[in-house]
Amino acid sequence: NQVIQNPDGTTKLVGASYHLFFAGFMGIVALIFAIYMRFYQEQHIIQEESKQ
């Protein structure tokens, strides 16, 4: 919220614009995540039992 705040503490976005900003931001993040997961290489790491 500090990014969209005026120096006097009021917000630059009001009403529907405020909510649409965050909805759009989350949409962009979801798209970036989907692209990242498309190229993610899964790794299996199996831990051996300790010998006591």
Query: Would you list the domain boundaries of the chain?
Result: 1-39
Distinct helix (H) and strand (E) counts, the chain: 1, 0
- Residue 44 CA to residue 42 CA, distance in Å, equals 7
3 state SS of 5: strand
- pTM of the shown model: 0.63
- Identify each DSSP E strand in 1-52 by its residue range: none
The stretch 1-21 carries a mean pLDDT of: 85
Residue 52: the pLDDT is: 67
Q: Is the pLDDT of residue 50 over 80?
A: no
- Residue 21 CA to residue 35 CA, distance in Å, equals 21
Phi and psi at residue 44, in whole multiples of 5°?
-105, 120
Q: Is the pLDDT of residue 31 over 70?
A: yes
